[in-house]
């Protein structure tokens, strides 16, 4: 009577699990793209308008608060992705996989600082809306200080988030878990985003959002591919041995 080696059963379960993990990561990437990288900034641009947060935020508190919540959600999704992919990436380097988790936690913390500054700008706008002439001057001065603090918190948070994306695509490339051209596309897109937006601002140059545009199709392509295919079912020696032990 044929019997299946226990190690073969365990390995087959692991391979199915890898495919499921990959598909879950793909879905989380797509959700992260929407909730952390696109929608919040659309909402913030709507609130900011041409006059800025001080003039407009008090009249549009709901979109600003929604953007803050979505930025929190997006940052939490990055942590979830890092943890979800840890069992697979850990086989190719535990230190690097844990480092990815650490960067995602750092990105969440920095985003929390950015979000706090956004809510402070909302409070200043609400105060400005009811202030008399003398108090309005003081509020405008405070707005410059808080706005500057928010600007730098935002760029530092973007730098760390971009580093997380770069690390994720880089580890997927090294582990050969996705097609290499797709991973290279993501690495190139994240490097352009880091260079043209947060790093450029920190180095004293005017940030250019156009540098971040190639990252969007790379991110979506990676998400869709993983949702369709998952991580590859790489045959292991244990599975091969188990399939041969049937007597």
**Helices 61-84 and 94-130: angle between axes, nearest 10 degrees:** 170
pLDDT-derived band at 93, boundaries 50, 70, 90: confident
Structural domain count of the chain: 1
Most confident of 15-24, 202-211, 227-236: 202-211
Instruction: Write down the pTM of the prediction.
Output: 0.87
Domain assignment of residue 114, yes or no = yes
For residue 213, the SS3 value is: coil
Domain assignment of residue 179, yes or no = yes
Distance CA 221, CA 205 (A): 30
- The pLDDT, as a whole number, for residue 245 is 36
pLDDT exceeds 90 at position 238: no
Domain assignment of residue 233, yes or no = no
Domain assignment of residue 2, yes or no = no
Instruction: Output the average pLDDT for the chain.
Output: 89
- The pLDDT, as a whole number, for residue 15 is 58
For the stretch 47-84, pLDDT in tens is 999 999 999 999 999 999 999 999 999 999 999 999 99
Lowest mean pLDDT among 145-154, 196-205, 220-229, 237-246: 237-246
What element of type H or E holds 57? none
pLDDT exceeds 50 at position 7: no
Distance CA 40, CA 174 (A): 32
Distance, C-alpha 37 to centroid of its chain: 7
Domain assignment of residue 86, yes or no = yes
pLDDT-derived band at 102, boundaries 50, 70, 90: very high
Burial class (CB within 10 angstroms; exposed 0-12, middle 13-18, buried 19+) of 57: buried
- The pLDDT, as a whole number, for residue 194 is 97
Distance, C-alpha 156 to centroid of its chain: 14
Q: Which domain holds residue 162?
A: 9-228
Domain assignment of residue 65, yes or no = yes
Distance CA 43, CA 70 (A): 10
pLDDT-derived band at 37, boundaries 50, 70, 90: confident
Domain assignment of residue 168, yes or no = yes
Domain assignment of residue 223, yes or no = yes
């Amino acid at each position: 009577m044929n019997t299946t080696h226990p190690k073969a059963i365990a390995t087959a379960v692991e391979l199915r699990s890898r495919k499921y993990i990959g598909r879950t990561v793909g879905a989380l990437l797509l959700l992260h793209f929407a909730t952390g990288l696109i929608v919040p900034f659309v909402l913030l641009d709507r609130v900011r308008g041409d006059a800025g947060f001080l003039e407009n935020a008090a009249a549009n508190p709901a979109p600003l608060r929604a953007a803050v919540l979505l930025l929190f959600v997006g940052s939490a999704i990055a942590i979830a992705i890092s943890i979800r992919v840890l069992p697979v990436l850990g086989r190719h380097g535990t230190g690097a996989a844990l480092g990815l988790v650490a960067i995602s936690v750092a990105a969440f913390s920095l985003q929390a600082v950015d979000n706090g500054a956004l809510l402070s700008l909302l409070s200043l706008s609400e105060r400005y809306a009811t202030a008399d002439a003398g108090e309005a001057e003081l509020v405008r001065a405070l707005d410059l200080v808080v706005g500057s603090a928010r600007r730098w918190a935002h760029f530092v948070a973007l730098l760390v988030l971009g580093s997380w994306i770069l690390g994720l695509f880089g580890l997927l490339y090294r582990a050969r878990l996705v097609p290499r051209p797709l991973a290279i596309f993501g690495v190139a897109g994240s490097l352009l985003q880091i260079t043209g937006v947060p790093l450029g601002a920190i180095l004293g140059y005017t940030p250019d959002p156009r540098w971040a545009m190639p990252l969007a199709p790379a991110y979506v392509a990676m998400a869709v591919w993983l949702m369709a295919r998952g991580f590859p079912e790489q045959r292991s020696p244990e599975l091969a041995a188990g399939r041969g032990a049937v007597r």
